[in-house]
Amino acid sequence: MIQKQWLKNGLFIVCIAAIVVSATVVFSIAKQDTDTYEGLRLFSDVISEIENNYVEPVETKELIEKAIQGMVSGLDPHSSFLPPEAFDDLQSETKGEFGGIGIVITMRDNRLTVISPIEGTPAYKAGVQAQDIIIKVDGKTTKGMMLWEAVKKMRGDPGTPVDISIFRKGETEIIELTLVRAVIPLESVRYLTLKPGYGYLWVTNFRENTMDEVKNALDALKKEDTPLKGLILDLRDNPGGLLDQAVKVSDVFLDGGTIVSIRGRDDQTGEEYKATPGSEAGEYPIVLLINGGSASASEIVAGALQDNHRALVLGTTSFGKGSVQTVRPLKDGYALKYTIARYYTPSGRSIQAEGIIPDLVVKRRMLDERAGDGFDANLIKEGDLENHLAGDDEMEAIDEMIEDAVEKPEAADKDETADEMTEAERLIRLRDAVYDHSSSDSNALLLDSQVNRAYEILRGYEIFQGMSGKSSGK
């Protein structure tokens, strides 16, 4: 009897608890619905007020589009509302066939800022650098322009010209460039033999066939007269690309272990990519090069090889784009691009706004010239792109520098000899020397301080191995 009464009371308590929980959930949902309704009503009031009383007639559709753009772009630098023409351009870029000048850009404090130039493109050959601010495109200011609008202005039919005006910190004048648009090259891998037994593999981006190109390059390096004893894997200024290719390229060099994991809003759910056993690329040491222009997919590869102790990472801290975006098509040709997850390296590190920190920090410079601070000492990082306004002093200082440069189109007199080139000129010289790789370019490539240090490490490793073998044989 007591047991039945206890059971009855227990059931009663459970029912009451369930009712309370249900009521709490319903109240929470109702509150959310109320907040949403109130917000939409406020939005409607603002639209109505502007339509009726603004000094000039406005299109309701245009107002709504701009409101959505502001809402989405306020989430993070990589989320955006895409009108039909911007969505079409994005699809063309994914296929890898479009005419342009070859730069990866972002909006930083309403300024069109270069993350990195793409190897082999008109912008790359003209010496466009990371952190350059593009202030005009064909004479039209880019300040306050939507990112997709700026991209659209610089894209076009191959062979057609586009004028860009660049502000570069440290320069006394605006840099005016006329670039001829070209098809952005599909080739993403270049290679050569630096010295007998030491290969150099340059991955410029991650496209549909990058893994196949990497395998072909490794096969060619292995067929040289001297067996491959060490590899330099160059991911500098690699802006990223396709996730699946980053995973596959990592898998080429790994014989097991985690490559990368993806976690969404709920950290308990996500996806993990693992290497498959049977890799033949574990027979030689690897030095992997990164810098502030290495982003997204290239950071996945760097993190995977670093955390699995497969490569020594050398250079400067990478960009830090550790987020995953998806594109959701909407009606009437519109689309929504937004962030859904973050990347994590095998050890559980999030690279978002942190980047991959190299095992050895080595700044880039030309060894036959005065050192300076290196080319990539101040590259823009993902951490610079957080959604907040810069301090007034900083904004005013940059504005003043741009205005001064615009007002002084003629450069100040320079007492400069042929042996005293600017950092930009030395960088262009270095790029020209290594762009068309062939066996005769290896000496020029070794003038790059980061490549040279990587080679020295690999050569030193071989020497120490020889010493160890002789010591153990005694």
**Catalytic site positions:** 296, 307, 321
Candidates 313, 383, 354; CA nearest to 115 is 383
Based on C-alpha coordinates, what's the Rg of the chain? 27
Which residues have C-beta within 8 Å of that of residue 474, sequence separation ≥ 6? none
Q: How many CB atoms lie within 10 A of CB 164?
A: 24
222: three-class secondary structure by DSSP = helix
Residue the block writes with tokens 């060490």? 230
With b for 16 or more beta-carbon neighbours within 10 A and e for fewer, the 406-425 pattern comes to: eeeeeeeeeeeeeeebebbe
- The DSSP H or E segment spanning 467 is helix 449-473
**H or E element, residue 72:** helix 60-73
Instruction: Give the contacts of 183 (CB within 8 A, at least 6 positions apart).
Output: 97, 98, 99, 158
Residues 308, 421: Cα–Cα separation, whole Å:
41
Distance CA 297, CA 242 (A): 7
Six-digit token string for 11 = 């059931």
Tokens 């670039």 belong to residue? 179
β-strand pairing of 111-117 with 198-203: unpaired
- Cβ atoms of 387 and 353 within 8 Å: the answer is no
Which pair of structure tokens corresponds to residue 76?
Answer: 């993070």
26 φ, ψ to 5°? -60, -40
Nearest to 398 by CA among 176, 150, 113: 113
* Residue owning tokens 């109240």: 27
